[in-house]
A and B are shown apart, each in its own frame.
Chain A
């Protein structure tokens, strides 16, 4: 691990000022915030992350979950995954979020990992994690070892000729289906970013994963009040029963009236280079009678643009069945 200067931020402005010294907030940042440490320390040990300054933000007052006056929810950036998953309001109104969190990692990691950190969770692509191999995300311009390499677990949606790395988060998939808003405090004040716009497609700059700039501190995430009458569910399919990343997952939030779908929010995990919201599937499903034919058409639409790699063509059908099964659970 490269040496670094350890700083502890006593307030948000100090953290922002420290982070603003970095030339980028993306891969290669010289200043990193640490909260849970579960991604950062892992990658620092691999020399994939080599920050010169590490700023501890655990003392900032960002660890609360609060109901908003409009019935929505405000989730602080340092709320631990375990606390968010077990929160009574989350379990009642946003079950898909609780289920996604509990499907991720282990109990120990969920006690450490935070809401803000999980939004920034890095890919598990083995080439990204191995500094002896080319990787455009880690070393832009060196090439993608995964294309034509070991790509069984990698993405089939949102890929480019430069990168096919999967976004590994379960929480992000649920937040995409819940249309969460991410609140950021930066050198120019506060701003809010819909989660659909927060993560970037790799394109020809896979080292850029989010819209965050130097100095940006995620302070909290907000959720709108639950859609009246909606039901939600998270299904995760993986190589073993627990403590494994998704091969395919689906987060669904659906409202049904008179056996017809009146509202659908659909996001897929394990298959996309970012948390994969499918507006196409939602549009096809809305107004349709519940049942396999409509669910299957929605799933076909969600995976229409899939580009399988040499080892992961199975993910196309797996993701479709995952979505169909998830839809059946809530209708």
Chain B
């Protein structure tokens, strides 16, 4: 099969927008439109008995999120999921959007050390929480042991689900989980891999757990 002439990249190339740059700009426009339509509806941000949330212009809400140890002061449409906030506002694109309905696990991040589906949580619910994404657990040259094991075991094919798989696996290390491969399969069942790399994913996790 012929390979694509235009590999994905972070910036525009030769005056043309790459897919990622286009999506990022489209996302910004989408958010602006949303905020505008909200102001037409006229729903100012209120508090119930002294909320920490501040009233924002045009229906937006200000919130400070702590992500990978850094504080981010954000103004968000209340509808913004934690997933969309991470990807479109904080531009941490390691966390992936798969189903957007809590069925695939691609969006898995840690909130206060526990793995959650970031697509089913509103960003504004997470003031004061410690949020960790794939960018916060390791980096080239200093990979997390789970990241190294995924490389060593070739625990992916297309890689789209991999960040979610790794975030789930890192959390699993601290959860009650039996020693067997089947225990890992059960604990990882919230992360779907359309390529079917499951045997290698289980092997990678078991190696880190010292069970291989």
User: Which residues from B are CB-within-8-Å of A13?
Assistant: 49
Contact check, A107 vs B175: say whether CB atoms are below 8 A apart.
Answer: yes
Identify which of residues 6-60 in chain B touch chain A, using a CB-to-CB cut-off of 8 Å.
34, 37-38, 41, 43-53, 59
Asked if A280 is at the interface (CB within 8 A of a chain B CB), the reply is: no
Asked if B101 is at the interface (CB within 8 A of a chain A CB), the reply is: yes
Of the stretches B76-84, B136-144, B154-162, the one at the interface is B76-84
Bound CA–CA A86/B105 (angstroms): 22
Bound CA–CA A38/B105 (angstroms): 13
Cross-interface CB contact of B43 among A5, A36, A112, cutoff 8 Å: A5
User: Which residues from A are CB-within-8-Å of B92?
Assistant: none
Cross-interface CB contact of B78 among A4, A14, A36, A242, cutoff 8 Å: A4
A-B pairs under 8 A by CB, number: 117
Binding site for B on A (CB under 8 A): 1, 3-11, 13-15, 17-18, 34, 36-38, 41-42, 45, 52, 54-56, 58, 82, 86, 105-109, 111-112, 241-243
User: Which residues from A are CB-within-8-Å of B191?
Assistant: 106
B53, closest chain A residue (CB): A8
A105, closest chain B residue (CB): B190
Asked if B108 is at the interface (CB within 8 A of a chain A CB), the reply is: yes
Contact check, A41 vs B48: say whether CB atoms are below 8 A apart.
Answer: no
Bound CA–CA A52/B46 (angstroms): 13
Bound CA–CA A59/B21 (angstroms): 38
Contact check, B120 vs A42: say whether CB atoms are below 8 A apart.
Answer: yes
Q: Give chain A nearest CB distance to B175 CB in angstroms.
A: 7
Contact check, B100 vs A45: say whether CB atoms are below 8 A apart.
Answer: yes
Chain B CB within 10 A, most for which of A38, A41, A105: A41
User: Which residues from B are CB-within-8-Å of A9?
Assistant: 48-49
Contact check, B79 vs A242: say whether CB atoms are below 8 A apart.
Answer: no
A240, closest chain B residue (CB): B189
Cross-interface CB contact of B61 among A6, A45, A82, A241, cutoff 8 Å: A6
Q: Give chain A nearest CB distance to B125 CB in angstroms.
A: 5
Asked if B176 is at the interface (CB within 8 A of a chain A CB), the reply is: yes
Bound CA–CA A86/B114 (angstroms): 14
Contact check, B51 vs A111: say whether CB atoms are below 8 A apart.
Answer: no
Bound CA–CA A1/B119 (angstroms): 13
User: Which residues from A are CB-within-8-Å of B125?
Assistant: 34, 37, 56, 58
Contact check, A5 vs B45: say whether CB atoms are below 8 A apart.
Answer: yes
Bound CA–CA A108/B110 (angstroms): 9
Contact check, B53 vs A5: say whether CB atoms are below 8 A apart.
Answer: no
Contact check, A15 vs B115: say whether CB atoms are below 8 A apart.
Answer: no
User: Which residues from B are CB-within-8-Å of A54?
Assistant: 78, 122
Asked if B121 is at the interface (CB within 8 A of a chain A CB), the reply is: yes
Known: A3-B78, A108-B108, A111-B115; 5 extra A-B contacts, CB below 8 A, are A5-B45, A8-B52, A107-B187, A107-B188, A112-B120
Q: Can you list 29 residue pairs at the A/B interface with Cβ under 8 Å?
A: A3-B38, A6-B61, A6-B78, A6-B124, A8-B52, A10-B51, A15-B48, A17-B48, A41-B122, A45-B101, A56-B122, A56-B125, A105-B190, A106-B105, A106-B191, A107-B168, A107-B171, A107-B189, A107-B190, A108-B105, A108-B108, A108-B115, A108-B168, A109-B190, A111-B114, A112-B116, A241-B186, A241-B189, A242-B189
Contact check, B48 vs A7: say whether CB atoms are below 8 A apart.
Answer: yes
Contact check, A3 vs B37: say whether CB atoms are below 8 A apart.
Answer: yes
User: Which residues from B are CB-within-8-Å of A4?
Assistant: 43, 78-79
Bound CA–CA A105/B101 (angstroms): 12
Asked if B102 is at the interface (CB within 8 A of a chain A CB), the reply is: yes
Asked if B185 is at the interface (CB within 8 A of a chain A CB), the reply is: yes
Bound CA–CA A71/B91 (angstroms): 51
- A3/B176 contact (C-beta < 8 A), A15-B48, A111-B114 known: no
User: Which residues from A are CB-within-8-Å of B133?
Assistant: none
Asked if B117 is at the interface (CB within 8 A of a chain A CB), the reply is: yes
Bound CA–CA A82/B119 (angstroms): 19
User: Which residues from A are CB-within-8-Å of B176?
Assistant: 86
Bound CA–CA A37/B189 (angstroms): 20
- A108/B116 contact (C-beta < 8 A), A3-B59, A56-B125, A243-B190 known: yes
Bound CA–CA A41/B61 (angstroms): 18
Cross-interface CB contact of B79 among A1, A18, A52, A56, cutoff 8 Å: A1
Contact check, A3 vs B77: say whether CB atoms are below 8 A apart.
Answer: yes
User: Which residues from B are CB-within-8-Å of A242?
Assistant: 185-186, 189
User: Which residues from B are CB-within-8-Å of A15?
Assistant: 48
Bound CA–CA A82/B190 (angstroms): 14
Bound CA–CA A39/B36 (angstroms): 27
Bound CA–CA A56/B49 (angstroms): 12
Asked if B172 is at the interface (CB within 8 A of a chain A CB), the reply is: yes
Bound CA–CA A36/B82 (angstroms): 13
Q: Give chain B nearest CB distance to A291 CB in angstroms.
A: 31
User: Which residues from A are CB-within-8-Å of B175?
Assistant: 107
- A8/B47 contact (C-beta < 8 A), A34-B122, A42-B120 known: yes
